[in-house]
């Protein structure tokens, strides 16, 4: 059995207590560090697991919908080809199937010119292609494709109107057999479709070439879903907090079938356009099995915003498509509550480590010096050094740490997430129109401690869906926006500076000057950070416009690059701009503004533009901290020099009256500096951080 030397038990009580606290604080420090790392890792793992589960569930749900499409198409092919379904009853049959299968958007049967039904030939037509579909209201319609364009033309041919036609969906099944279509824009409907095509057969006529089964293709059956349905399927996924993620679907070749940003579908962009490091071959090559399903997991960085996401891509079996889930890492890991909690725990770790080092040094001093004056001096020096190191660590942590995100806001930094949020609002209203709005801040001036003056430009893009009567005119007194809580005269402080027409859009820009009272927080002075906000509303908060940040007008939306800020000549006087970004905040009004709608309802979110500022520490350090350090040093010098020995009093020249006079002089200096501090901050109500150093000096003077 291990036995300790008897000399250990003979040491004084101070040594034993110090050793005990040294061990306890060491264990506490290790435990705090390990739990912080594990908890942060658990948050990341939970978020990643949520993205994986969402992708698996979405792929499974979409597969269940798509599984019914080939079955339905094959049944119709057999019914028409065998004659079980009379040609005259095709349209009626299609309508009944659409009514029985609400998730199917359209059914089409296009007959080849050689196998037209007899009743079509009898009426003198040379084409027959009934297209049955369900509109957005659930009503059923029949449209004949041949009335819009010639579906038998080669794919990409120019029709009589001079426009290229999409006939791939008709020719591909006849030439290649059953196939899932790549997403395409319907030439007759102007709607994006994705579906499954299969040929139907008839007995070959004289001179026709038959296949191995003795039949010849007589036309194409196409069962389709609109991309709006895919949007609904993916849009209903729950990503937790608003603004944390979005979903998309790509085809077997990597083309986008659905994405919150419509340009990915409208411009036929590929997964490589979304992320240059991705392709279908890369996705297939990195597939792995998680949650019982095959999927691929990547780290994706948005090219415009710089935000990093977990990207989970899972296969959709029947069509060879892929469903992707992008979950924003920053929104998960840098939540305001989590950032604040981590900062508090880092301070706790620093205090525990400092305590461990102090008691370790104390054990050494007691063991080596056994209560001598030299030991006390060493203990005092070590304690002072650790205290100053702790203060310096907290300062560095505050200066280098990132600004906490707004607690009640949804940050609009990435275009895809913004589009996802906007689409959720648009789905709730048939009249609501999005109005892209941008801002460029030219100057920021602190008129007083709580009043901030802004100047700059605000522009808006009015699309072709906006009635001309709703576009602000040159003579309108109020522009297309208002700035709540701002001291602004719209006739004097807002002026229209440009109006242009670009691609069926009217772009109007105004120059503005406004002063807004901000609730600035000086509690952490001189380490305070301020979030200056410009609130932007439409003229009628209950109206038909939803203000949307015009992120596409910015080269980059990375907050640290300061999008929306003219940094070339920006003078902030004692402040440094750290970030700028847009956000949404729910706006709850306790009035209906006399418009006859129910009071206390939640209206549209308000658009905010944030400017994050950090105070320059050097100015406060030179004007306040250095004088306090000098005063503290002088007090320590007096404490060392003062003596009770009569023979030394004459040498140093210090008596009780001299010490009191000296302390009074120092007190007067500190009080003047303290008053100057509070006057400079416009008499803040709360005690600011720097004032605690003054209170320490006051206490030291009294104790001396």
Provide the pLDDT confidence category of residue 348 given band limits of 50, 70 and 90.
confident
Predicted local confidence at residue 199, as pLDDT: 92
Provide the pLDDT confidence category of residue 217 given band limits of 50, 70 and 90.
confident
pLDDT score of 592 more than 60? yes
Predicted local confidence at residue 9, as pLDDT: 44
Give the residue-averaged pLDDT of 567-589.
Answer: 85
Give the residue-averaged pLDDT of 254-261.
Answer: 85
Comparing 232 with 187, which gets the higher pLDDT? 232
- Nearest-angstrom CA–CA distance, 383 and 47: 43
- Nearest-angstrom CA–CA distance, 148 and 310: 44
pLDDT score of 599 more than 50? no
Predicted local confidence at residue 220, as pLDDT: 93
Q: What is the mean pLDDT of the chain?
A: 80
SS (H, E, C) 309-365: EEEEEEEECCCCEEEEEEEEHHHHHCCHHHHHHHHHHHHHHHHHHHHHHHHHHHHHH
Cβ atoms of 507 and 460 within 8 Å: the answer is yes
Predicted local confidence at residue 4, as pLDDT: 46
Provide the pLDDT confidence category of residue 211 given band limits of 50, 70 and 90.
low
pLDDT score of 457 more than 80? yes
Predicted local confidence at residue 26, as pLDDT: 84
Burial class (CB in 10 A: 0-12, 13-18, 19+), 350: middle
**Token duo for residue 50:** 């949520």
Comparing 289 with 504, which gets the higher pLDDT? 504
Predicted local confidence at residue 584, as pLDDT: 92
Give the residue-averaged pLDDT of 220-236.
Answer: 77
| pLDDT more than 90, % of the chain | 13
- Nearest-angstrom CA–CA distance, 409 and 264: 27
Predicted local confidence at residue 187, as pLDDT: 56
- Nearest-angstrom CA–CA distance, 226 and 191: 7
**Superfamily designation of domain 67-225:** PAS domain (3.30.450.20)
**Token duo for residue 31:** 């435990």
Q: 231-333: what CATH class?
A: alpha beta
Comparing 128 with 21, which gets the higher pLDDT? 128
Predicted local confidence at residue 681, as pLDDT: 76
pLDDT score of 500 more than 80? yes
- Nearest-angstrom CA–CA distance, 114 and 190: 28
**CATH code that applies to domain 409-615:** 2.70.170.10
Q: What global pTM score does this model have?
A: 0.75
Per-residue DSSP letter, 588: B
For the beta carbon of residue 171, count every other beta carbon within 10 angstroms. Answer: 17
Inter-CA distances, 466 with 343, 504, 546, Å:
47, 11, 12
Provide the pLDDT confidence category of residue 440 given band limits of 50, 70 and 90.
very high
| pLDDT more than 70, % of the chain | 84
pLDDT score of 300 more than 80? yes
- Nearest-angstrom CA–CA distance, 359 and 87: 95
Provide the pLDDT confidence category of residue 1 given band limits of 50, 70 and 90.
very low
Per-residue DSSP letter, 154: P
pLDDT score of 603 more than 70? no
Task: Select the highest-mean-pLDDT range: 232-241, 456-465, 669-678.
Answer: 456-465
Comparing 563 with 426, which gets the higher pLDDT? 563
pLDDT score of 654 more than 70? no
Predicted local confidence at residue 210, as pLDDT: 57
């Amino acid at each position: 059995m291990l036995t300790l030397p008897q000399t250990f038990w003979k040491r004084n009580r101070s040594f034993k207590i110090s050793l005990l606290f040294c061990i306890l604080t060491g264990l506490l420090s290790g435990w705090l560090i390990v739990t912080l790392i594990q908890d942060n890792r658990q948050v990341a793992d939970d978020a990643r697991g949520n993205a994986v589960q969402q992708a698996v569930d979405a792929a499974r749900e979409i597969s269940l919908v798509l599984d019914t499409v080939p079955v339905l198409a094959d049944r119709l092919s057999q019914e028409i080809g065998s004659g079980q379904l009379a040609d005259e009853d095709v349209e009626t049959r299609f309508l009944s199937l659409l009514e029985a299968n609400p998730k199917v958007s359209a059914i089409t049967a296009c007959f080849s010119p050689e196998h037209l039904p007899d009743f079509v030939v009898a009426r003198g037509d040379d084409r027959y292609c009934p297209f049955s579909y369900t509109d957005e209201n659930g009503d059923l319609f029949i449209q004949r494709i041949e009335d819009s364009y010639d579906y038998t033309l080669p794919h990409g041919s120019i029709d009589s109107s001079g426009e290229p036609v999409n006939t791939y969906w008709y020719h591909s099944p006849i030439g290649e057999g059953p196939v899932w279509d790549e997403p395409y824009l319907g030439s007759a409907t102007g709607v994006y479709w994705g579906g499954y095509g299969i040929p139907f057969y008839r007995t070959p006529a004289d001179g026709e070439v038959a296949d191995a089964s003795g039949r010849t293709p007589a036309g194409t059956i196409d069962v389709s879903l609109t991309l709006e349905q895919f949007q609904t399927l993916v849009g209903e996924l729950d990503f937790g907090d608003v603004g944390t993620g979005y979903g998309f679907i790509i085809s077997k070749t990597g083309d986008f079938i659905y994405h919150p940003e419509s340009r990915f579908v409208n411009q036929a962009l590929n997964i490589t356009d979304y992320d240059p490091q991705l392709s279908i071959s890369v996705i297939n090559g990195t597939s792995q099995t998680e949650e019982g399903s095959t999927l691929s997991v990547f780290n994706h960085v948005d090219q415009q915003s710089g935000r990093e996401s977990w990207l989970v891509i899972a296969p959709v079996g029947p069509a060879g498509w892929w469903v992707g889930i992008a979950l924003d890492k920053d929104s998960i890991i840098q939540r305001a509550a989590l950032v604040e909690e981590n900062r508090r725990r880092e301070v706790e770790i620093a205090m525990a480590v400092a305590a461990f080092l102090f008691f370790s040094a104390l054990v050494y001093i007691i063991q080596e010096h056994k209560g001598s004056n030299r030991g006390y001096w060493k203990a005092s020096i070590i304690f002072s050094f650790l205290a100053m190191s702790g203060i310096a660590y907290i300062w560095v942590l505050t200066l280098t740490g990132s600004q906490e995100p707004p607690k009640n806001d949804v940050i609009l930094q990435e275009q895809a997430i913004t589009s996802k949020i906007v689409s959720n609002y648009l789905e709730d209203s048939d009249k609501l129109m999005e109005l892209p709005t941008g801002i460029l801040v030219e100057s920021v001036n602190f008129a007083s401690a709580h009043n901030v003056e802004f100047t700059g430009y605000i522009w808006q893009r009015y699309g072709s869906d906006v009635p001309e009567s709703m576009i602000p005119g040159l003579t309108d007194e109020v522009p297309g926006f208002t700035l709540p809580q701002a001291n602004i005269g719209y006739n004097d402080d807002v002026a229209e500076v440009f109006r242009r027409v670009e691609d069926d859009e009217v772009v109007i820009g105004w120059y503005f000057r406004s002063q807004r009272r901000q609730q600035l927080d000086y509690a952490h002075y001189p380490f305070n950070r301020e979030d200056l906000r410009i609130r932007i509303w439409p003229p009628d908060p209950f109206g038909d416009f939803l203000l949307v940040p015009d992120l596409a007008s910015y080269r980059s939306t990375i907050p640290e690059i300061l999008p929306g800020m003219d940094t070339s000549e920006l003078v902030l006087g004692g402040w440094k701009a750290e970030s700028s970004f847009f956000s949404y905040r729910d706006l709850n009004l306790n009035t209906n503004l006399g418009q006859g709608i129910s009071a206390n309802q939640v209206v549209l979110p308000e658009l905010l533009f944030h400017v994050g500022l950090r105070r320059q520490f050097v100015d406060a350090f030179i004007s306040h901290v250095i004088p306090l350090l000098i005063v503290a040093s002088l007090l320590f010098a007096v404490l060392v020099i003062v003596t009770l020995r009569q023979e030394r009093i004459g040498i140093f020249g210090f008596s009780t009256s001299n010490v009191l006079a000296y302390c009074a002089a120092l007190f007067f200096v500190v009080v003047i500096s303290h008053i100057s501090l509070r006057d400079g901050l416009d008499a803040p109500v709360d005690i600011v951080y720097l004032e605690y150093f003054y209170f320490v000096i006051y206490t030291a003077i009294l104790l001396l």
